[in-house]
Amino acid sequence: MIFIVACLSTIYVTLIFLYVYGWIKLSSVPATPDFVPQTGVCIVIPARNEAHRLAACIESVRAQNYPISLFDIIVVDDHSTDDTAAIAARYADVCLIRLADVLQGEDLPKAYKKKAIETAIAHTQRELIVTTDADCTMPTDWLRNIVHGYETKQAHIIAAPVQYVRAQTFVERFQTLDFIGMMVATGASLHLRLATMCNGANLAYRRQTFYEVGGFAGIDHLASGDDMLLMAKIAQRYPQGHYFLKQLSATVSTYAQPTWADFAQQRLRWASKSASYQDRRITLFLAAVYLFNLAIVGCFVGEVLCGSGYYGQLGGYALGIKMLADAIFLSTGCVFFRRTDLLWWLIPAQIAHILYIVIIGTWGNTGTYTWKGRKMS
């Protein structure tokens, strides 16, 4: 048992320090005041029952420091039962597409969000597609910096940071801290070419490239995966064509899930696509993290059952290694996102993190989940 725990600990620490190294080495140059963008952009906002936050999202997009003649906004209403469509329709400069109208007479898809994005892309001729979520807001130079990165790097797909804001409760603070870790892992992985990771709340790609790789064909049977699975397809065709934009001024803000139950459903949705990753390095990394956390839980369960002290010491050793590595890892991200206040929650967050990794990792590919009123499997 000690050999297994020692091996898993070594793998975990190595992975964490690779992430830290990659994040530190990652840099990007913000757009200068004299930068004159040339790229036409279509901002796609899929929305389902987001009446309480959609207006703020649209307003922040409309307020971008970017030539108004060079970007369009498309909101795709995904069968909302609230006033989402009515709110989008208030804006004369926003194109509203009702997915229910598009799908009349067709079989209902499983991947509604992918269908929404696909529909919007077919509706525009703009060169660059930028996707975000209806509960997000952006700083005024968000689009300017994305396009600057696109034009200078000539990338086929660009991932950019996402952060949670207004975290008040422990469950919200835990998610914010955990999500910062995800952003560090995402940026480092793309920079070091370790894996292809991204988040659809802040993602940009060439319209032409989307069609070159067949869009969502082959992954359209999955409810999730409009971001990472698409990036994997693009990276397969253009191995050097992806880029992470490490800039606060290009960071999208959104909200953590309000309860543990909502958080579990969200993470189950994310985990449901893990078996379909074309980039097997992601699967290996996820498996390493899962097995290490499972080993920690197994040690403490073994101590409860046996009471010998051996398993408890072994579990304590592994937990100490994890806490030290994660403290360095998360500190790196918290400094960038200016959220070092969250580090006070590191110790209780560790317990929650171990349990959630084990539970969601076990359940994610076998159970069903509910998201925005739809039951998925």
What tokens appear for 103 in the block? 């799908």
**Residue 50, CB-side half-sphere exposure with 13 Å CA sphere:** 23
For helices 2-25 and 310-336, give the axis angle rounded to 10 degrees.
10
- List the chain pLDDT tens, one digit each, 377 residues: 788 999 999 999 999 999 999 999 998 888 999 999 999 999 999 999 999 999 999 999 999 999 999 999 999 999 999 999 999 999 999 999 999 999 886 666 778 999 999 999 999 999 999 999 999 999 999 999 999 999 999 999 999 999 999 899 999 999 999 999 999 999 999 999 988 899 999 999 999 999 999 999 988 877 778 999 999 999 999 999 999 999 999 999 999 999 999 998 888 887 766 666 667 778 888 889 999 999 999 999 998 888 888 889 999 999 999 999 999 999 999 999 999 999 999 999 999 999 999 998 888 766 566 767 766 65
What tokens appear for 258 in the block? 């309000």
pLDDT given at position 333: 97
What tokens appear for 162 in the block? 């996402």
Please identify which residue in the block is written with the tokens 């898993």. Answer: 8
CATH number for the domain formed by residue range(s) 28-258: 3.90.550.10
CA dihedral in degrees (58, 338, 334, 135; nearest 10)? -10
pLDDT given at position 224: 78
Please identify which residue in the block is written with the tokens 């190294």. Answer: 21
pLDDT given at position 273: 66
pLDDT given at position 286: 86
309: left (phi over 0), alpha (psi -120 to 50) or beta: left
**What is the C-alpha separation between 55 and 47, in angstroms, rounded?**
11
For helices 310-336 and 280-306, give the axis angle rounded to 10 degrees.
140
Beta strands 128-131 and 203-206: pairing type? Answer: antiparallel
pLDDT given at position 363: 80
**3-state class (DSSP) for residue 221:** coil
Q: What pLDDT digit, counting tens, does each position of 210-253 carry?
A: 999 999 998 887 777 899 999 999 999 999 999 999 999 999 99
What tokens appear for 167 in the block? 């975290």
Please return the burial class of 265, using the count of CB atoms within 10 Å of its CB with bins 0-12, 13-18 and 19+.
middle
CA angle 30, 135, 50 (to 5 degrees): 155
Please report, in angstroms and rounded to a whole number, the separation of the first and last CA atoms in the chain.
35
**Strand locations in 82-232 (E):** 94-98, 128-131, 157-159, 162-164, 203-206
110 closest CA partner among 74, 132, 149, 78: 78
Q: What pLDDT digit, counting tens, does each position of 32-86 carry?
A: 999 999 999 999 999 999 999 999 999 999 999 999 999 999 999 999 999 999 9
**What is the C-alpha separation between 375 and 369, in angstroms, rounded?**
6
Beta strands 71-77 and 94-98: pairing type? Answer: parallel
